[in-house]
């Protein structure tokens, strides 16, 4: 799920919220939130704007 979320964030080409990723992937919000948390801890996503995320790479 982490890789799917990261791919969706990169494909968006702009900072996105967890809700937007949920709509893009049509996946369970709890799973997306877990993926976001893991990606944050790994430093693979950053938040340039409150509640929006983009790839750090």
Instruction: Label each residue of 7-38 as H, E or C.
Output: HHHHHHCCCECHHHHHHHHCCCHHHHHHHHHH
In this prediction, residue 34 has a pLDDT band, given cuts at 50, 70 and 90, of very high
For residue 9, give both structure tokens: 């964030």
Q: How many whole angstroms separate alpha carbon 46 and alpha carbon 27?
A: 21
* pLDDT (average), residues 12-23: 96
- Report pLDDT for 3: 96
User: Residue 57: CB partners within 8 Å, gap ≥ 6?
Assistant: 44
Q: How many whole angstroms separate alpha carbon 41 and alpha carbon 20?
A: 21
In this prediction, residue 28 has a pLDDT band, given cuts at 50, 70 and 90, of very high
């Amino acid at each position: 799920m982490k890789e799917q979320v990261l791919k969706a964030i990169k494909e968006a080409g702009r900072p996105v919220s967890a809700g937007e990723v949920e709509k893009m992937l049509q996946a369970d919000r709890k799973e997306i939130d877990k993926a976001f948390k893991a990606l944050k801890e790994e430093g693979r996503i950053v938040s340039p704007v409150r509640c929006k995320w983009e790839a750090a790479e």
